């Protein structure tokens, strides 16, 4: 497939999948339950953190977590007591357990009280064409308070060759304004041109079949290769093609 044909094909798939119907079966539906900026970004971050495995299970557990946070995640993060945290102990999603959950709430409180919030942390460390250094620095700040060593595995570090799929997906949600009501675009200090594709098994396999990716592992080096090729198709909004790659893989078995 020639470059122009590939671009036309993928653009058509973006239109097909980047619409409100996508929300119905995707974890992004959780932050869509909220209106306040901080509620959206905190619920989105926690949902993205557990976004691996069965999608129905992800959505069910994310809903349970929001209920444990009294469906007011920002207020809970900012004003929780030690007693409030105890009810999080039974929470579990795969290897993310109640201890991890409590640590995340404490770290989020630290970020809002000491660093000006989630958007501010990512913005302060952004580079012109990438947020991968921002993600690495975010992890450092997230765990600069006393924490359980086991919890660190739930935040990826691109500078250690991770594709950081879940955080890149979260950043797509927050930064990209798609004008269709799927991605939020509430972080206006950052640009879609800085985003990287959430690389997973589905998007990686489709990208390889389309000649957008040669590296076999879904790691940081593969992400850099995919980023480079997606930017050739659309430098201003490269991660719109996440909808095409994911849709082709999950819904069409491409």
In tens, the pLDDT along 41-97 reads 999 999 999 999 899 999 999 999 999 999 999 999 999 999 999 999 999 999 999
Compute, in degrees rounded to 10, the torsion defined by CA atoms 91, 54, 142, 66: -50
Instruction: Name 244's Cβ contacts closer than 8 Å, sequence gap at least 6.
Output: 10, 11, 13, 14, 16, 17
- Could you tell me the pLDDT band of residue 16, with boundaries at 50, 70 and 90? very high
**pLDDT for the residue numbered 143:** 98
- Please count the structural domains in the chain: 1
Judge whether 131 and 123 are in contact, CB under 8 Å: no
DSSP state of 127: B
Judge whether 81 and 70 are in contact, CB under 8 Å: no
Mean pLDDT, residues 235-251 taken together: 95
User: How open is the CA angle 180-209-214, to the nearest 5 degrees?
Assistant: 105
pLDDT tens-place string over residues 134-155: 999 999 999 999 999 999 999 9
**pLDDT for the residue numbered 103:** 98
**pLDDT for the residue numbered 253:** 82
Judge whether 202 and 137 are in contact, CB under 8 Å: no
**pLDDT for the residue numbered 3:** 82
Mean pLDDT, residues 214-238 taken together: 97
Residue 1 confidence (pLDDT) above 80: no
Mean pLDDT, residues 167-188 taken together: 96
pLDDT tens-place string over residues 107-138: 999 999 999 999 999 999 999 999 999 999 99
Q: Domain containing 239: what range?
A: 3-252
Q: Could you give the CA distance from residue 226 to residue 86 in angstroms, rounded to a whole number?
A: 42
| Average pLDDT of the chain to the nearest whole number | 96
**pLDDT for the residue numbered 2:** 83
> pTM of this prediction?
0.96
């Amino acid at each position: 497939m020639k470059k122009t044909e590939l671009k036309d094909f993928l653009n058509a798939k973006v239109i097909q999948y980047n619409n409100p119907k996508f929300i119905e079966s995707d974890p992004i539906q959780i932050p869509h339950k909220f209106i306040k900026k901080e509620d959206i970004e905190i619920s989105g971050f926690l949902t993205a953190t557990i976004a691996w495995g069965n999608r129905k299970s992800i959505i069910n557990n994310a809903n349970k977590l929001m209920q444990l946070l009294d469906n007011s995640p920002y207020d809970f993060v900012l004003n929780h007591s030690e007693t409030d945290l105890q009810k999080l102990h039974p929470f579990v999603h795969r290897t993310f357990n109640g201890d991890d959950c409590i640590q995340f709430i404490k770290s989020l409180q630290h970020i809002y009280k000491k660093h000006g919030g989630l958007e501010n942390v990512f913005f302060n460390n952004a580079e012109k064409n990438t947020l991968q250094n921002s993600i690495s620095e975010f992890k450092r700040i997230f765990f600069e308070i006393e924490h359980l060593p086991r919890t660190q595995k739930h935040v990826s570090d691109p500078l250690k060759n991770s594709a950081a799929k879940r955080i890149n997906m979260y950043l797509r949600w927050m930064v990209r304004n798609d004008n269709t009501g799927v991605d939020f675009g509430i972080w206006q200090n950052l640009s879609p041109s800085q985003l990287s594709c959430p690389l997973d098994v589905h998007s990686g396999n489709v990208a390889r079949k389309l000649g957008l990716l040669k590296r076999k592992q879904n790691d940081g080096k593969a992400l850099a290769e995919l980023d480079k090729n997606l930017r050739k198709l659309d430098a201003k909004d490269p991660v719109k093609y996440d909808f095409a790659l994911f849709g082709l893989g999950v819904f069409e078995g491409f």
